[in-house]
Amino acid sequence: MSKKQSYPGKFITLEGGDGTGKSTQARLLSEFLKEQHKDVLLTREPGGAPGSDDIRQLILTGEPERWDVVGETLLFYASRRNHLRLTVWPALERGDWVISDRFADSTMAYQGYGNQLGVEAVSKIHEVSVGDFEPDLTLILDIDVRKGIARTQGRTNNEDRFEKMDIAVHERMQQGFYEIADKNSHRCVIIDADRPIDEIQAELRKIVRERLLSE
Ligand code: TYD
């Protein structure tokens, strides 16, 4: 059902709270890897595959009460399953370097910790949906949650269901990312995202060079 880690490609995930600048950093990192003559696939969650983009609309729009935390977690994993099956795993099999703007650590941090479904419940759903497949590298962009939310306020789309949630949810989510990084130090690195874009990108490139390109 799941895939064991034996791909010619590499899987890099960018994680963190809202307004940390993940998407910009993911794009710049993909440009760097292309310069290194890698075939790169830049993708995101929720979304990144047929079906998954429809689920994205269901989850991210509307009022916070639209889904409870169980329903929401199942939707994120339904989206993730299609994303893996139809996009990520085929690309890794081809030998691509896949960069995903968010992946499973977001569900653990937001639903598991932030919305308090708990580590055990999220882990169970994860086990069935993803198995022991995991990223080769996870870059967690970290910023003060209030600053991050303030940065998202100018956005013009209506995908703001999570940004409307209580600040306490975001603070638990951030704590969740710290705990995830602690438990998964073999693949996770926390990066201070309260700095200029090029400084953050330089650090990301250094980490990728040291951890993955020198292999
Ligand atoms: P995203 O589009 O990455 O927004 P942003 O660029 O603001 O980070 O993600 C949308 C929201 O979905 C974001 O608030 C985090 C949330 N989310 C979860 O709660 N659980 C998940 O598993 C994922 C992938 C995202």
CA of 214 to the centre of ligand 1 (A): 31
Q: Positive or negative CA dihedral for 203, 205, 208, 214? A: negative
**Fold of the domain built from segment(s) 10-213:** Rossmann fold (3.40.50)
Structure token digits, residue 147: 């600053």
CA of 85 to the centre of ligand 1 (A): 20
pLDDT score, position 45: 97
177 lines ligand 1 (CB under 6 A): no
Q: What are phi and psi of 19, to 5 degrees?
A: 75, 25
At residue 155 the predicted structure's pLDDT band, cuts being 50, 70 and 90, is: confident
- Closest approach atom of ligand 1 to CA 19: 7
Q: Which residue has the higher pLDDT, 166 or 37?
A: 37
DSSP 62-106: S-GGGS-HHHHHHHHHHHHHHHIIIIIHHHHHHTPEEEEES-HHH
Helix, strand, coil in percent for the chain, rounding step 5: 55, 15, 35
Q: What are phi and psi of 190, to 5 degrees?
A: -95, 135
pLDDT tens digits, 96-142: 999 999 999 999 999 999 999 999 999 999 999 999 999 999 999 99
Helix (H) or strand (E) holding 89: helix 89-94
Q: Is 1 a residue whose pLDDT tops 50? A: no
pLDDT score, position 146: 92
152 lines ligand 1 (CB under 6 A): yes
Best probe residue, ligand 1, of 69, 162, 173 (max atoms within 8 Å of C-beta): 162
Q: What are phi and psi of 14, to 5 degrees?
A: -110, 130
pTM of the predicted model, to two decimals? 0.95
At residue 10 the predicted structure's pLDDT band, cuts being 50, 70 and 90, is: very high
> Residues 69, 59: contact at Cβ < 8 Å?
no
48 lines ligand 1 (CB under 6 A): no
CA of 118 to the centre of ligand 1 (A): 18
- pLDDT (average), residues 46-53: 95
pLDDT tens digits, 165-215: 789 999 999 999 999 999 999 999 999 999 999 999 999 999 999 999 987
- Closest approach atom of ligand 1 to CA 155: 7
Boundaries of every domain in the chain: 10-213
172 lines ligand 1 (CB under 6 A): no
107 lines ligand 1 (CB under 6 A): yes
Distance between CA atoms of residues 107 and 191, nearest Å:
19
CA of 162 to the centre of ligand 1 (A): 7
CA of 215 to the centre of ligand 1 (A): 31
Return the closest-CA partner of residue 15 out of 108, 137, 118, 138: 138
CA of 25 to the centre of ligand 1 (A): 15
**Portion of the chain with pLDDT greater than 90, in percent:** 85
Degrees (nearest 5) of the Cα angle 23, 45, 57? Answer: 105
CA of 59 to the centre of ligand 1 (A): 9
